[in-house]
Structure 1
Amino acid sequence: MFEIITWGGAALSVAGLVGLVWCILRVMKARKAGLSDDELRAVVQGVLPWNLGALFLSVLGLMLVILGISLG
């Protein structure tokens, strides 16, 4: 039972990490495109909710890993 929680948490953490890498790559691509300040700000504002969601998913996964290890 707790092994499932641990591996599920690890999967959530990896999914969150993939989301964070996607956010970084998206902003780097926008910076290299030579956009104006307003356009770059719009891209960053669009990526921000995804970034926070990915961070939350990663933290939630790490909490599940710690819970699974502690209780298992």
Structure 2
Amino acid sequence: MCEGMLMIFVTVGTHTQSFNRLLKEIDRLAASKKLRGKIVAQIGHSSYEPKNIEWFRFTTFEKLNKFYKNT
């Protein structure tokens, strides 16, 4: 991550409930260029897989902290 570059980090946690509506809207905004910078989402158990942003389902506590520090 470059110093000064805008980053948006979306996280939904480990709850088994889906957050598909949130992820679809973030993905739509990214595709329309209404959100700038790097966008990364932790999508958890959601079934929707974004097409226009970087995403992952789960990661370690240490890696999550790195995302928090960069946003």
Return the structure number with greater strand share.
Answer: 2
TM-score (norm 1): 0.31
Instruction: Pick the structure with greater CA Rg.
Output: 1
Structure number with greater CO (CA < 8 Å, separation at least 6) is 1
Return the structure number with greater helix share.
Answer: 1
TM-score (norm 2): 0.31
